[in-house]
Chains A and B, each alone.
Chain A
Amino acid sequence: MIVSAITFSIFYLVPRLAGATPETLATRYVGRAATEETVKLTAERLGFYDPIAVQYWNWAKGVVVGAEYDYGSGVESCPAPCLGYSFITKQPVWPELLDRIPVTLSLAAGASLLWLLAGVATGVLSALKRGSIFDRGAMIIALAGVSLPIFFTGLLSLAIFSYQLGWTLPGGSYTPFTENPVVWSQSLILPWITLAFLFSAQYARLTRAGMLETMNEDFIRTARAKGLPERTVVVRHGLRGALTPILTIFGLDVGLLLGGAVLTEKTFSLPGLGKYAVDGIVANDLPKILGVTLVAAVFIILANLVVDLLYAVIDPRVRNQ
């Protein structure tokens, strides 16, 4: 709610400060060829002359109860989660968003699973064999991973694996899971791995640091003193303690990713939310931008909620409070 209000005001105020008027905004809607009169009429119908609070109220009302748009040629109704109509394509935003959510969801789900497993496993092993060749090698690779932008590794892997070797499908090919799960995974395997590599680097570093800290705690000594097998000590006591901060960041990352893995989707030309947002931004299509921002904020809040619930499962200290 707050996020949407801030987004709204910024995107209304910044163009105004930079010199846009209701007329120029409306011109974008009806096209440059339109007469001055039509432009003014459209601006009025879309409420561009209203003060910002009124415009926001109308938009928010549309999200909750739906809205009706009067185009002059006829009234169009826009049912409940109405995020408005695109300035450019004149298509309602919400159904378009619904089409794109599965793409981003597939990308985020596969990649996050991969990076959580790879990152945490590497981090734990590094921490246990601290100072070993494995530890040093893993940490050097992890540091490199943190320093690489996805639009470089992504492009490079596309060039090598897709173009030169022909192992994977080229960028831009996406098949829905429901249509063909095999082709679906083939089209996403490269984005998954590239994205997971960057993230798992960060997670390996965090897990290692967390494990080093927890393994020095008293309850670990107690667990060892009880004569528990080392495996149990590490997994059930050590990892549990180290996992809490990792989970916080995991929640934030997945939430952010669901709101549009902008760079990944752009690099691999995947038709997800992020690409939708970028397209909207390039075309200066406010309803699209607002729609994505709202959906993204919802995802982030949901992800954080899930993480808070998971805390109780993983860390007994949280449960007792």
Chain B
Amino acid sequence: MTAPLEVEPGAAKADPEAVLRGAGPIEGRSLSRIAWSRLRRDKVALAGLVVIVLLILMAVFAPLIVKLIGHPPNEFNQDLIDTKGGTLAPLGTFGGMSWEHPMGVEPVNGRDIMSRVIYGSRISLLIAFFATLLSVVIGTTLGTIAGFFGGWVDQLISRIMDVFLAFPLLVFAIALAGVVPDDAFGLKGDSLRIVLLIFIIGFFNWPYIGRIVRGQALSLREREFVDAARSLGARRPYLLFTEMLPNLVAPILVYATLLIPTNILFEAALSFLGVGVRAPTATWGGMLSDAVTYYTMPHFMLWPGLAIFITVLAFNLFGDGLRDALDPRSR
């Protein structure tokens, strides 16, 4: 697209990559060490990483933390609700915030918002991680095949990716998540919804990874070291797994990190529209969806919204930092 007019073809692209990826297969460790030292200087990205680690810890130890707080996410606290006013709003100011309930309680049934936000992180992160993993697996496989073999294989896979990108994804995902009943494929309840959401989100997002991997594989295929291996008589599997794949790890890692926040938003959107994990299980999107009815009380929507915002921001910051560290020219 932005091919320079006078420079010899390929030179502008190949040069920075030679520094970056050419060193890959020979001194793999030193590449990651260079990247790590660059990343360590990037305070913003590190902050993102710290937040991510804290969030993961929070999700893993959610039952423990909530036990310490002392209010299970689905415990009703009717005594904290103003039943006389007619609005069923929590008693006290700012949505019933107190030492006992630091983020306040929900209107109507008075469930503790903080423990619901903490439990919501489990669903959110679980689905986002595994959906990303699925996208990466499909995207890398098909992208590498398309880029490596070229020809009609490339044509076919690229067309499939175009069709996927042209789909009204959200409508489609909602519809799919909506038509599946509560008891299907040998699974039930929450676990069914979680698996279903992982498959839907992961399955619709693979072309983003696929396109990037295809582009990288396409340019890698023409590189000297691949040519050298080929002229030495290396077979296709060797070329694919030993020569190409290690050089694709960096971009895959970066875009996987950047896909996670997209998937978190996707899951929240589905939950918001009521086709995610079913109530009463706490999800951030579901909490926001409940908040629609009470939009006159902004503090009720604030916490799940902030939770989504902080999580997504942390992943974006870390992903950007990772990209800059692995590929300095994007800075």
Contacts and interface: CB of A to CB of B under 8 A. Distances in A.
A23 to B, nearest CB: 15
A297 B165 CA distance: 11
Contacts of A10: 176
Interface residues of A, number: 60
B274 interface: yes
Nearest to A277: B171
Interface in A212-250: 213-214, 217-219, 241, 244-245
Contacts of B330: 209
Interface stretch (B127-135, B217-225, B308-316): B308-316
The residue in B1, B6, B308 that gathers the most chain A C-beta atoms within 10 A of its C-beta is B1
A289 B177 CA distance: 13
A306 interface: no
Contacts of A17: 184-185
B170 interface: yes
Nearest to B165: A252
Given A146-B316, A244-B1, A18 B170 contact: no
Contacts of B296: 159, 163
A156 B298 contact: yes
B301 A155 contact: yes
A34 interface: no
A19 interface: yes
Contacts of B301: 152, 155-156, 159
Interface in A156-177: 156, 158-160, 163-164, 171
A113 interface: no
B165 A2 contact: no
Interface string B171-206: 110111011110011000000000000000000000
Contact of A293 (B168, B274, B304, B305): B168
A300 B170 CA distance: 14
Contacts of B309: 144, 147-149, 152
Given A143-B316, A281-B275, A263 B298 contact: no
A151 interface: yes
B31 interface: no
B292 interface: yes
Interface stretch (B58-66, B230-238, B264-272): B264-272
A301 B169 CA distance: 14
A218 B179 contact: no
A259 B320 CA distance: 30
A147 B309 CA distance: 6
A297 B317 contact: no
Interface residues of B, number: 53
A78 interface: no
A144 B269 contact: no
Contacts of A267: 292
B2 interface: yes
A284 interface: yes
B268 A149 contact: yes
The residue in A3, A147, A289, A304 that gathers the most chain B C-beta atoms within 10 A of its C-beta is A147
A103 interface: no
A143 to B, nearest CB: 6
B283 to A, nearest CB: 13
Nearest to A158: B295
Contact of B163 (A3, A163, A255, A293): A3
A48 to B, nearest CB: 15
A31 interface: no
Contact of A260 (B165, B168, B179, B308): B168
Contacts of A292: 168, 171
B5 interface: yes
Contacts of B107: none
A143 B313 contact: yes
A256 interface: yes
A287 interface: no
B261 interface: yes
Interface in B255-294: 261, 265, 268-269, 272-275, 285, 288-289, 291-292
B102 interface: no
B4 interface: yes
The residue in A144, A158, A163, A281 that gathers the most chain B C-beta atoms within 10 A of its C-beta is A281
Interface of A: 2-3, 6-7, 10-11, 14-15, 17-20, 143-144, 146-149, 151-152, 155-156, 158-160, 163-164, 171, 209, 213-214, 217-219, 241, 244-245, 252, 255-256, 259-260, 262-263, 266-267, 274, 277-278, 281-282, 284, 289, 292-293, 296-297, 300-301, 304
**3 closest Cβ contacts across the A-B interface?**
A152-B305, A296-B168, A147-B312
Given A151-B285, A218-B6, A300-B168, 8 more contacts: A159-B296, A160-B298, A218-B4, A259-B171, A263-B273, A282-B178, A293-B172, A297-B166
7 contacts: A151-B269, A256-B169, A259-B171, A260-B168, A260-B171, A263-B272, A292-B171
